[in-house]
Amino acid sequence: MSTTPLPTALLVHGAFADASSWSGVIAELQNHGIPVVAPPNPLRGLASDAAYIASVASQIDGPVVLVGHSYGGALITVAGTTENVVGLVYVAAYVLEEGESLGELQGRFPLSPLVSNLKEWTYPVEGGEPAVEVTIKAEAFPEIFAADVPAPVTKVLAAAQRPLAAAVFEETAAAAAWKTKPSWALVADADQAINPEVERFGAKRAGATIVELEGASHAVAVSQPKEVADLIRDAVRATS
């Protein structure tokens, strides 16, 4: 009988959300006996956020499957080079190439409605000028981020947004872990935050095993947690 531990699913949320966006997925995975960790994503910079996720992964005993939603996909692409990471799962996510930025990847395709519905804020930076961060305009949030989630829930999600540092769009990925690790990808075909073509292109380029969910919004982990968990389970099974 094998004594190899089951990989831990490390879930990385994206911009405008927090780890609670994985709640339904976490419950599904736990029901199937899969260990799960869902750390906070700082949302302050591609290199620094990826370093944080890599640090969390490296402190987990045994193998890890990294799961990234949205901007979290860019982070697992870099953090996935960590030695104990055995697979990558992209959920309605950016899949970057080494040396590529989010802005570059996005710029190859028509921009999503998200881009014209961002609100700018500033935050203090020690010893420097205030930096810019962005959220989605509250009135546009339901349609852009979570069109298939009940309206009362989207109102709460809109109020609880975690802002993303604007500088992340220009930072380039220091590595592309999908070149050496197997990957899986879920494309949300009704996504209004990331053009589904961006998701498809990155997933195909990475040679990922791809699942498309018809009518799924960007918040697919909230609206269809079972389907998202099923893909993660496939990755865990294939890498254990």
User: What digits encode the pLDDT tens for the residues 188-225?
Assistant: 999 999 999 999 999 999 999 999 999 999 999 999 99
- Give the pair of three-digit tokens for residue 100: 């590529």
Mean pLDDT, range 139-158, rounded to an integer:
96
Q: Do 83 and 180 contact (CB within 8 A), yes or no?
A: no
Q: 54-58 long-range contacts, Cβ below 8 Å, gap at least 24?
A: 54/78, 54/79, 54/81, 54/82, 56/10, 57/10, 57/82, 57/84, 57/85, 58/82, 58/83, 58/84
Q: How confident is the model at residue 4 (pLDDT cuts 50, 70, 90)?
A: confident
DSSP state of 130: P
124: pLDDT strictly greater than 80: yes
Distance, CA of 158 to CA of 24 (rounded, Å): 18
Give me the percent of the chain exceeding a pLDDT of 90.
Answer: 98
Mean pLDDT, range 28-41, rounded to an integer:
98
62 CB contacts (<8 Å, ≥6 apart)? 5, 6, 7, 8, 84
Q: Is the CA virtual torsion 88, 25, 43, 119 positive or negative?
A: positive
